[in-house]
Amino acid sequence: MIETGKSLDEFRGAVRRFIDENLPADIRRKLQLGFPADRDDIQRWHQILHRHGMSTPAWPEEYGGPGWTPEERSVFYEELFTAPAPEPQNFNSNMVGPLIAQFGTDEQKARFLPKIASLEYWFCLGMSEPGAGSDLASLRTAAILDGDEYIVNGQKVWTSTAHHANWVYCLVRTSSVGKKQAGITVLLIELDTPGIEIRPIISIDRRHHFNEVFFDNVRVPVANRIGLENEGWAYARYLNGRERTGIARVGLAKEKLDFARRLLEERRKTHPAPFEEHEYRKRFALLDAELAALDMTQLRSLEYEASDPLGAPVELASMLKIGGAETVQEASRLAMEIAGQAGLRIREVDEQQMASLSDEELAVSSVVNGYSLYRAVSIYGGANEIQRDIIARKLLEG
Amino acid sequence: MVALQADERQLFVDTLGRLLREQYEFSKRRTYLASSDGWSRDVWAQYAGIGLLGLGIDEEHGGAGGSVSDIATAMQELGRALAVEPVLGTMIAGQALQLFGSQQQKTDLLPRLAAGELVFAVALGDAGGSGVTAELRDGAWTLSGTAACVIHAASAEQLLVAANTGTGAALFLAAAGANGVSISEYAVQDGSRASDVAFANVAGEPLGNVEETRSSCDSLHQIGAVAVCASSIGAMAAALDQTIAYTKTRRVFGKALVEFQAVRHRIADMYIAREKSMSITLAAVNALDADNGGGAGRAVSAAKVLVSKNAWFVTEQAIQLHGGIGMTEECAVGHFMRRHMVNDQLFGSPMQHLEILTRFEDLAGQGVSADMRERRRQ
């Protein structure tokens, strides 16, 4: 456990040392070569962090949080991305956990928080539906009260990691009277409850990240409702607000830029091309400048957190989301261009190939998957168009 | 070669378009990709039947006539449908034979090519070479080295290779099944098959007169480059059409997506990107058909560079405007991006073509637009 109260530089050094000493080498190598962490990787690392009291950086100390300042939290995440290492399971650590800490009953806090912190409960988010994406309030998955249980019927989509999870945070409709937002309730649902079916969705990186989740007369105890019935929209906004600031992920874009730089270094050994190298280095320089600006914007937004209970202004959070998306997309595009024709080959790498192929061959095999997957960052968590609407509305209508 | 008459071309485009609409519904495409060839021999026979494979080949040799502009038009339709048959390699090889082959080679090979009886794959590499060298020993040429990412090599009967003879690149024919050829096949990002082809002292037949084929490698690179530009234009056009259809029906916040000005402007920008790409490719095609030598090279590189960024924009924004569903393997929209991704790296990368353009700048030339004005004056 790394204590608060040092200088930020000392804190950063301590985090880096911790990661160097504790991050399994196979996980670091996998991420360095551009492959995503799998279920086992995320679990292993989350549990290591948990053992050292660092799997829930944003939680109040009374629930096991490390008591770090917002700046220290930001440095912690940046170092994880730079290592590279997986984050603590994000839905648990940054969204559902803080939501329960803020709005749950004492009984719910006692029942859920320790298991969320340890990843014994793995939460996914049941929010979007086929007819409700950007317009989330239009959701139709219904919950009808029957004694001390809700009966849930409907369907969620784009449910990331539902195939790894054992719990789902689910937005349901408990009333169709009045405004759409006024009839939404938050339920925590155990995924092995009878009536739940999970179907994989294959993404354009040919991998399985997202799912459809179907609810057919699923019975959920009222004790699993967070807060009040029909008050769920406010809780959902709280959770989505946390998702937005988390998504800047400046460290991720920096790591992807470094990946592109390393790839260019490797390529020029076998395919020297001075003109191209010069062009790429200009683009690296520009992206680096953008990342420096984004980094400072993130630091500025953290300053608000210290003094304002609502945190950073919503337009600044939206700016961070857009900037985080655009920089990681540009970095992944650079790597793909540098890999060139060699990246066109579809190569699903198994464990044996991880050991036998060269680092360059492995890195080249992951660039198109990375580029393809990161097309999603301008869509999920509130599409970039929505974020621009938020900024415009705030500036123009106040 | 002379372009088809306007009404002939229109008839051809309509026929090909109809064929592709019938045979290339997206779930059918998936079955072709999953087959052992990775493409449909039945559709291939239909291509031959409508004269697609004879485009750019003279009637004397069993072709349909037509020029590079007709080849480009056909490639655009194939790009729209995301077709995966080995048409590109076969048509490029057809051009090579038509323009540079000996009379004997033309007589032996062109009629069978036009009839769909011979599949060709082309290993032409790019400005930096193909990875294959050719050596003359005792009056016979042999090919050695490895050509990477040869589209559909494993399906081909014949390979057309640009090999370095020591004094420059020249074109050679080799039988895909010849001694010393080894082919390791894989899939590329749009689902098509490609192979790394290794040559170990493989018998190669020079195309026509080997002394004369040195500049022909450049010509074929240029024809290939405009062909893949045309394919990306087709993919862009289909991506835009699907995006318009989707955004008209998808409702958010009580309105169809097309009622939001940001979406309307994005669609307008996608239209501009598509039209600009068509214009620059047309300029390049005209330069090639006019047999413009250096001017054609400049126009072709301009097309490669502009089509590259514009097609990335359109295919990426098509995904963006489809939202989550655009991110799925199942939805056709992501596949237009993948087709462009492959096209982008064939016959020279955008970076390589940018460098070519810069070199033209260095020569204090007046650029592509001046060339076009000059050509219109003539």
Tokens of B351: 């970076």
Task: Provide, rounded to the nearest whole percent, the portion of chain B with pLDDT above 70.
Answer: 95
Q: Which of A72, A78, A229, A243 is catalytic?
A: A243
pLDDT in tens, A234-279: 999 888 877 655 556 888 999 999 999 999 999 999 889 999 999 9
The residue ranking higher by pLDDT, B127 or A336, is: A336
d(CA B303, CA B225): 8
Active site residue A243: yes
pLDDT in tens, B182-236: 999 999 999 999 999 999 999 999 998 887 766 789 899 999 999 999 999 999 9
Give residue A238's pLDDT: 87
- A204 touching B (Cβ < 8 Å): yes
Q: What is the mean pLDDT of chain B?
A: 94
CB contact under 8 A, B342 and A347: no
Interface of A with B in 109-148 (CB under 8 A): 128, 133-135, 138
Residue B365: pLDDT band with limits 50, 70, 90: low
CB contact under 8 A, A201 and B328: yes
- A368 touching B (Cβ < 8 Å): yes
Give residue A270's pLDDT: 86
CA A338 to centroid of chain Cα atoms: 27
What is the distance in angstroms between the Cα of B283 and the nearest Cα belonging to chain A?
26
The residue ranking higher by pLDDT, A196 or A380, is: A196
Of the ranges A379-383, B85-89, B356-360, the best mean pLDDT one: B85-89
Tokens of B247: 């955004």
pLDDT tops 70 at residue A118:
yes
CB contact under 8 A, B188 and A157: no
pLDDT in tens, B31-52: 999 999 999 999 999 999 999 9
CB contact under 8 A, A345 and B186: yes
- Integer Rg of chain B from CA: 21
d(CA B360, CA A364): 32
The mean per-residue pLDDT over the stretch A41-62 comes to 96
∠ at Cα A49 (A43, A55), nearest 5°? 90
CB contact under 8 A, A380 and B324: yes
Give residue B128's pLDDT: 80
pLDDT tops 90 at residue B160:
yes
pLDDT in tens, B260-311: 999 999 999 999 999 999 999 999 999 998 876 567 999 999 999 999 999 9
Residue B334: pLDDT band with limits 50, 70, 90: very high
ipTM given for this complex: 0.94
What is the distance in angstroms between the Cα of A366 and the nearest Cα belonging to chain B?
12
